Amino acid sequence: KLQKWKISCFRHEGFSPENPKPEYIEHFLPEEFVQTELYKSSAHRRDWKSTLKEAADAVSRAVGSGWTVPWTAETILQVMLLWVAAFWFIGSWMIPFAAHMAGFSKESLTFKGQALFSLVTDVTEGLAGIAILHRCLSHFHPLPSDWFKFSLRGKWLFDVALGCLMFPFVNQLSQFNLTLLPLMPSTPVTPSSVEQSILARDPVAMALYAIVVSICAPMWEEIVFRGFLLPSLTRYMPVWSAILVSSVAFALAHFNVQRMLPLIFLGMVMGVVFARSRNLLPSMLLHSLWNGFVFLDLMR
């Protein structure tokens, strides 16, 4: 017995469902097939906004919820502007002026002297940033327990290890960034004081620079960008957005457009590690390992 098909091929105007005419030819699909096709069609037409929402919910579950932020955008802006001003003033004016008053300039220093100059500058900038945070947030003490937390406890070593696996990709982004924004032909390329010390194989200078890039810089940068800025932004946006915005700010603070993309991505990796652990120690460790990786790469 032939099975009928439920698709109308021809239909006359006078056709009535109650009184079908011979001229009307019907084809009937199996009921199971019709239901399957309807289901596939409805699934295909799913609202893309709900798909994005599901993806955002998955990311939110991965990075956790926001922080309890007792201050407003005014305090966030105040801290960041004061930090930028202190960073510029100390590095460009205060330390060079103090060196000048002591009777020498950075350019006239030996490799060891330049490394020590860099260490003193970095330590001073870090202490100034911590002092600014302490002063601006003093009205909100005591802070909730998950603010500026340092702890060896927690299952964060796996996240740090995964972050380290991202290093080759960060390196590839560096090369890609240089192809997008290459150095101008007229721009003089001179080795930095770090590179000069490495070329000279000065062990004391290299040890001092290693302290700067692997300990000092990761410590105060993580306190400012991950410890303060990222959690503060969660008052106004989801955690994943705060990770992205704080990573862009982190990249801009390095004042180097040739390194923007890798720094943004690196900031996002460290932001995710920090948000998952609510602990500054893992992001500092990851930051330190990346800087050490770059430093060792220069030594090759």
In a domain, 206, yes or no: yes
Look at residue 181 and tell me whether its pLDDT is greater than 90.
Answer: no
Task: State the pLDDT at residue 179.
Answer: 87
> Residue 229 and residue 213: Cα distance in Å, rounded?
21
In a domain, 88, yes or no: yes
Range of lowest pLDDT (29-38, 124-133, 169-178, 180-189): 29-38
User: Residue 239: is it exposed, middle or buried by C-beta count within 10 angstroms (0-12/13-18/19+)?
Assistant: buried
- At 90, the pLDDT band (50, 70, 90 cuts) reads very high
| Percentages of the chain per state (helix, strand, coil), in multiples of 5 | 70, 0, 30
Domain containing residue 77: 70-140+155-181+192-299
- Over residues 261-299, the pLDDT tens digits come to 999 999 999 999 999 999 999 999 999 999 998 888 887
Task: State the pLDDT at residue 242.
Answer: 97
In a domain, 295, yes or no: yes
- Over residues 152-167, the pLDDT tens digits come to 988 899 999 999 999 9
Q: Are residues 64 and 144 in contact, defined by beta-carbon separation less than 8 angstroms?
A: no
Task: State the pLDDT at residue 52.
Answer: 64
In a domain, 162, yes or no: yes
Mean pLDDT of 166-194: 77
- Over residues 42-76, the pLDDT tens digits come to 555 567 767 766 665 676 677 778 899 999 999 99
In a domain, 56, yes or no: no
> Residue 277 and residue 151: Cα distance in Å, rounded?
10
In a domain, 287, yes or no: yes
In a domain, 136, yes or no: yes
Q: Which residues contact 254 (CB under 8 A, 6 or more apart)?
A: 263
- At 124, the pLDDT band (50, 70, 90 cuts) reads very high
Count of domains in the chain?
Answer: 1
294 Ramachandran zone, left/alpha/beta (phi>0; psi -120 to 50)? alpha
Look at residue 180 and tell me whether its pLDDT is greater than 70.
Answer: yes
Mean pLDDT of 12-38: 50
Task: State the pLDDT at residue 31.
Answer: 57
Look at residue 189 and tell me whether its pLDDT is greater than 70.
Answer: no
The pLDDT mean for the chain works out to: 83
- Over residues 228-242, the pLDDT tens digits come to 999 999 999 999 999
In a domain, 220, yes or no: yes
Residue type at 151?
A: S
> Residue 196 and residue 253: Cα distance in Å, rounded?
24
Task: State the pLDDT at residue 252.
Answer: 94
Task: State the pLDDT at residue 182.
Answer: 74
Mean pLDDT of 161-190: 81
